[in-house]
Amino acid sequence: AYRCRQALLEELPGRVVGGAEVLDVEEISSPRYEPDSTSREHMYSGEVALFFVAA
């Protein structure tokens, strides 16, 4: 979860991906541990906002 967050926040801004230029990425909430209450499967969730325009 933290590696994905790092890639989004640090590596994605300024890149063109699939015809869209990523202008900025902002963290809404950092990854937190939220195991499934039934299966006890390990899960992490967090939120980021992507700001992009057509390239």
Domain boundaries along the sequence of the chain = 2-54
pLDDT of 6 > 90? The answer is: yes
Query: Pairing state of beta strands 44-54 and 16-17?
Result: unpaired
Which amino acid is it at 4? C
Segment 41-54 shows an average pLDDT of: 95
For the chain, percent of residues with pLDDT exceeding 70: 100
Structure tokens at 34: 């939220």
pLDDT attached to residue 7: 93
d(CA 47, CA 11): 16
Dihedral, 51, 2, 7, 20 alpha carbons, nearest 10: -30
Q: What is the pTM of this model?
A: 0.74
